[in-house]
Amino acid sequence: MHEISGWRRLLLWPFGLLLKLWGRSLRFDASPDDVRAYMKKDVPVAIVLWHNRLFLAAEIVRRYRQGRPAYALVSASQDGAWLTAFFSLAGMRTVRGSSSRLGREAATALVEMLKAGYDVGITPDGPRGPLYALKPGSIIVARRTRAPLLLVGAEFESTWQLRSWDRFCIPRPFSRVRMRCEVIMSDQLTDRDAAAALIQERLLALNPDRKSPEQAPAAP
């Protein structure tokens, strides 16, 4: 298990501070129904968002999920070590394991966190895509724990998009983000294939891109 410590961790501190300040500058718009869905706290939940919306994850937890720590899955690799250190500086916690195709190791780690009373985060098209293609394995965790899914929606007023496989979205500072949220209860996940199709459909509806990934301008 790779770890980042010492001077290497100190190098990340300014970036963690920048991420916090940047996130706080964003203006979130959400309807009362969306806010109620985001703030569902009677039981631990699995927060589900497309990989290119990950920039918003820490701010979603800070604004809507206060009082219940959230854990994201990060690989045990060296790259995962840097990401873990960065997330910790941004106020998020991680579990380490193989994230490819949300395999057995990853699912077990997230199930343990949910059973311990913590929220977890899932990117159903991560870590390598294809973009907006939900992997059926991403609902295994919710099916095993009967935890509700919080489907995250975010439409950006102004954003940069990277030239990565997911066209990662970086909202411009002080810009407006239209936030949406939909709760999927465990009884809607009984049929795995039907549940996967439902979640794919709803996530696409909740996250309308102003332009297709091929047309969107890339960040310099």
Q: pLDDT per residue over 181-204, tens digit each?
A: 999 999 999 998 999 999 999 999
Q: Identify the pLDDT of residue 213.
A: 39
Q: Averaged over 124-133, what is the pLDDT? A: 87
Helix (H) or strand (E) holding 171: strand 169-171
Q: Which residue's entry shows tokens 């294939």?
A: 193
Q: Is residue 214 part of a domain?
A: no
Length of the chain: 220
Q: Is residue 198 part of a domain?
A: yes
Q: Is residue 140 part of a domain?
A: yes
Q: Is residue 215 part of a domain?
A: no
Q: Identify the CATH number of the domain in which residue 183 sits.
A: 3.40.1130.10
Q: Is residue 99 part of a domain?
A: yes
Pairwise pLDDT comparison (98 vs 162), residue with the higher score: 162
**pLDDT, tens digit (0-9, with 9 covering 90-100), for 94-126:** 887 665 555 677 778 889 999 999 999 888 987
Pairwise pLDDT comparison (88 vs 220), residue with the higher score: 88
End-to-end CA distance of the chain: 34
The secondary structure of the chain in percent helix, strand, coil, rounded to multiples of 5, reads 45, 20, 35
Measured in whole angstroms, the distance separating CA 208 from the mean position of its chain's CA atoms is 17
What tokens appear for 57 in the block?
A: 């994850």
Domain that holds residue 111: 7-206
Q: Averaged over 168-179, what is the pLDDT? A: 97
Domain count, the chain: 1
The percent of residues above 90 in pLDDT, for the chain, comes to 52
Question: Cα separations (Å) of 204 from 19, 193, 210?
Answer: 26, 17, 12
Q: Is residue 130 part of a domain?
A: yes
Q: Annotate 44-104 with DSSP letters as a single string.
A: --EEE--GGGGGGHHHHHHHH-TTS-EEEEE-SSHHHHHHHHHHHHTT-EEEES--GGG-H
**Which residues pair with residue 170 across a beta bridge?**
160
Q: Is residue 218 part of a domain?
A: no
Sequence-distant (6+) residues with CB within 8 A of 66 are none
Sequence-distant (6+) residues with CB within 8 A of 214 are none
Model pTM score: 0.86
Q: Is residue 154 part of a domain?
A: yes
